[in-house]
Amino acid sequence: MKLILLNRHAASRTLELGRWSWALLSALFIGLPIGLVTISYHIGFGEGLDSEQATRVSAQEQQAIDRAEALAQMSVQAQSRLTAMTRRLATLQAHVTRLDALGSHLTELAGLETEEFDFSAPLALGGPSIPLSGKSLPSVDEVESQFSALDALFARREAQFDVLAGLLSAEQLRAESTPAGRPIRAGWQSSPYGNRIDPITGERAWHAGIDFAGRDGSDVLAVASGVVSWSGHRSGYGTMVEVSHGDGLSTRYAHNQENLVEVGDLVRRGDVIALMGSTGRSTGPHVHFEVFKHGRAVDPATYVRRTHR
C-alpha cells in the first residue's frame, strides 16, 4: 500500500507500506480508540458496581440503625411502663397496709376474736389448677387494667371502712361515756338512794346518792369515761371528784381520802380517780356516789346495775 505525502513547498513523497506496517497503523488508529472505549467502559462499569454495592451497604446500615433506634425506643417505653407499674404497685401496697390497719381497728372496736380476723396472716387460698385455653400470660394492658380496677376497689373499701370505723368509734365512745357498774373494786352498799334516816342527826332526810363502804384507802373508780370538772373540797361532800361524761351526764365521788386527778384530766372507765376515805360529813370510810342528768340527781342504781359493754 502506498501513501502520497503532499507538501506545497517541496516535492510530494510516496511511502510504500508493507503488510506489517499497515497492520500496525490499523491497530494504532482503530484498536486504540476501541481499547480506550473498552477500558473506559470497564472502569465506569466497575465504578457503577462499586457505587451500587456501596448503596446496598449504606441501605443495610441504615436499616440496622433504624432497627437499633426502634429497639432503643421500645426499651425506653418498656422501662417507662415498668416504672409506672412499679408506682401503681407501691400505691396498692399502701392501700393494703391501710386496709389491714383499718381491719384490725374495726376488729378491736367490734370486739371480735383477733385470731379469727387476723389481718396480718396470709390469705387462705387453694384448689385444683385448671389451665385455660389461649394465652397463658396476660398482656401489659390487661395487667394495667387490673391495677386500675384494684386501685378503685381499694379506694371504695377504704371509704366504707372509714365510715364504719367512725360509726363504731362513736358507738364505743357513747358506751364508754355512759355510767355503768360500781365505783369500787370491793365493798358493799351501805345506804340506798332516796329517803332514809340521817346517820348523824337520826332524822328523816333525802339521800341523793348511794353509799359504798369499804377499806380506808382503797381505790375509787370512774364508772365512765369523761373529763374531770371538779377536784377538791366541797361542803358536806368532803374531798370530792366530779366527772362530766357528755350528753348531760355527770358523776360525783365524795368523802375521799385523797383525789388522784385534777380538773381537766381525761379519765376512762375503770381508772382510779381517788382513794376511799371519810372526809366531810361522814361516819366512816365509804364513797358517796351520785349521778346527775341535765343537772338533776337521779337514782344511780339504774347505772350501777348496767354491765360494761
Domain-embedded: residue 131: no
> How confident is the model over 82-123, as pLDDT tens digits?
677 777 767 776 767 767 776 676 666 666 666 655 656 665
Number of domains in the chain: 2
Domain-embedded: residue 182: no
Dig out the grid coordinates for 258 from the structure.
385523797
Domain-embedded: residue 223: yes
Domain-embedded: residue 205: yes
Mean per-residue pLDDT of the chain: 78
Domain-embedded: residue 300: yes
> How confident is the model over 181-205, as pLDDT tens digits?
999 999 999 999 999 988 888 899 9
Domain-embedded: residue 282: yes
Q: Do the beta carbons of residue 3 and residue 14 sit within 8 Å?
A: yes
- For 214, the 3-state DSSP assignment is coil
> How confident is the model over 255-287, as pLDDT tens digits?
999 999 999 999 999 999 999 999 999 999 999
Domain-embedded: residue 91: no
Q: What is the CATH number for 220? A: 2.70.70.10
77 or 132, which is more confident? Answer: 77
Question: Looking at the predicted structure, is the pLDDT value of residue 296 above 90?
Answer: yes
Domain-embedded: residue 21: yes
Show the DSSP H helices in the chain as ranges: 19-26, 32-110, 140-176, 301-304
- Picking from 50, 72, 94, the residue at the C-terminal end of a domain is 72
- Buried residues in 272-296 as b, exposed as e (16+ CB within 10 A): ebbbbbbbbebeebbbbbbbbeeee
- Picking from 21, 44, 72, the residue at the C-terminal end of a domain is 72
Q: Identify the domain containing residue 26 by its residue range.
A: 2-72
> How confident is the model over 207-255, as pLDDT tens digits?
999 999 999 999 999 999 999 999 999 999 999 999 999 888 999 999 9
- Picking from 49, 72, 95, the residue at the C-terminal end of a domain is 72
